[in-house]
Structure 1
Amino acid sequence: MKLSLGLLEVSGFALAVNTADAMAKSASVKLVGIDTCKGGGWMTIKITGDVAAVDAALSTGAAFAVKHGGLIAKSLLARPDTQLMQQVVPSKTKVEQPALTPEPAEAQPIAQEAVSKTATDEVTPDQEGEPTVDFPDGKVTCNLCQDPLCPRQKGEPRSKCIHARGHA
């Protein structure tokens, strides 16, 4: 699919930047650049993309520029010639180099004494028959029952609440 080219001319750099932002957010287009024109403080915003996206972005940009009193002209070239695209949209000559990956740190062996001391299978007398319940820092996640044990999060269906009707 061939790209289309959109040109929008506005007066002032600040308006050009804000208009380009609105255009880029409104449709799936690529912002090629913002160029200055000779005299008058006019700026040309260049975008590329498919025809419908560029047309939508140009309409958004033109409406934004009219609202701020700075629209000069707009133009859409649906399928411009490759020679024109080479002139208007310069190709990137800079080769992107891959990002450097940090080297992993060397693993240090774990002392056997530390492992043997922590891995004990002994049961203390106070742990034998009593079930223990760990409260998650007392944070209440369910706004219906205010029970810290309830797994329901705020915004989830009521049926996930442990105190919901029909779930006993």
Structure 2
Amino acid sequence: MSKLALGIIETIGLAAAVEAGDTAVKSANVKLIGYELSKGGGMVTVKIEGYVGAVKAAVEAGCIAAEKVSKVWSKKVIPRPHKDLEKMIITEETVGLVKENQEKESEEVSQIEKQQDAKEPEKIEKLLHKEMKEIVESKVVEAIDDSEGIKETISKEQSQKKVVSEVEVTKLENESVKEHKRNTDICNLCGNPKCPRKKGEPRKLCINYEKEKRRTSQ
């Protein structure tokens, strides 16, 4: 705003103000800021902006056109107004500017909403992908746990079988040792378990030695 000139046309009645604004923007390269209703007297202030020469020409042409409709109360051109003056020019009472700003704001809001709506399916897809990933990971963990449990059960069964087989082998070995001992302790001449003679000892110790000797001598 401070780099451009400010043009003000104050008329009596809205019709004259509309005529002034229309002629101003058509006669020179200026922008219509809007109009503001003065409190009392039925006066309307038209505000335009642009380069100094264009604003001067627009204000003069606007005043001439407004005087044909009603009365021009005052006019003013301010080249490069101070930035603090913007608070007095751009106000909520300035009709046209507020509406334009509201339209821009509503347009920006609608664009943001459209962008959000466009991103919504992507967000949903990301959430679904995340949930599916978590489900798959949990299933994998459960499968690993199950496989570990199966492995542990198999190892327990194998260890139990190993213990059983070792016990059986020990029993067989003990029986074999007993059988061998029993065979070596019994007299191999008479085979009588009550015979005091053991295998390898002199034959005379056998209880049946005398009987066997007489039988062979006959």
> What per-residue deviation string (whole Å, max 9, x for no partner) do you get for residues 28-83 of structure 1?
11111111111111100000111011101000011112233411100010111001
> What per-residue deviation string (whole Å, max 9, x for no partner) do you get for residues 87-116 of structure 1?
31258475342497xxxxxxxxxxxxxxxx
Name the counterpart of 2:27. 26
Name the counterpart of 2:44. 43
Distance 2:33 2:39 in 1: 19
* Unmatched runs of 5 consecutive residues or more in structure 2: 92-96, 115-218
- Which residue type is aligned with residue 15 of structure 2? A
Provide the secondary structure at the position in 2 that maps to 1:32.
Answer: strand
TM superposition outliers: structure 1 runs of 4+ over 4 Å = 90-94
Distance 1:86 1:39 in 2: 22
What's the CA shift for 1:86? Answer: 3.6
What's the CA shift for 1:26? Answer: 0.8
Identity level (%): 39
Q: Does 1:17 align with 2:18?
A: yes
Name the counterpart of 1:142. none
Q: Does 1:2 align with 2:8?
A: no
Provide the secondary structure at the position in 2 that maps to 1:47.
Answer: strand
Provide the secondary structure at the position in 2 that maps to 1:5.
Answer: strand
Provide the secondary structure at the position in 2 that maps to 1:34.
Answer: strand
* Number of residue equivalences: 102
Judge conservation of contact 2:15–2:69 (CA < 8 Å) in 1: no
Higher relative contact order (CA 8 A, sep 6+): 1
Name the counterpart of 1:80. 81
Distance 1:89 1:57 in 2: 20
Distance 1:85 1:54 in 2: 17
Judge conservation of contact 2:16–2:70 (CA < 8 Å) in 1: no
Provide the secondary structure at the position in 1 that maps to 2:32.
Answer: strand
Larger gyration radius, structure 1 or structure 2: 2
* Unmatched runs of 5 consecutive residues or more in structure 1: 101-168
Judge conservation of contact 2:9–2:20 (CA < 8 Å) in 1: no
Provide the secondary structure at the position in 2 that maps to 1:58.
Answer: helix
TM-score of the superposed pair, with normalisation by structure 2: 0.42
TM-score of the superposed pair, with normalisation by structure 1: 0.53
Cα–Cα, structure 1 residues 8 and 14, in superposed 2: closer, same or farther, change >3 Å? Answer: same
- Which residue type is aligned with residue 9 of structure 2? L
1:1-168 residue pairs with structure 2 within 5 A?
Answer: 2-90=3-91, 92=101, 95=105, 96-97=107-108, 98=111
Q: Identify, as 1 or 2, the structure richer in helix.
A: 2
Distance 1:45 1:5 in 2: 11
Distance 1:83 1:61 in 2: 26
Provide the secondary structure at the position in 2 that maps to 1:31.
Answer: strand
Provide the secondary structure at the position in 2 that maps to 1:2.
Answer: coil
Alignment RMSD (CA, Å): 2.6
Distance 1:48 1:62 in 2: 15
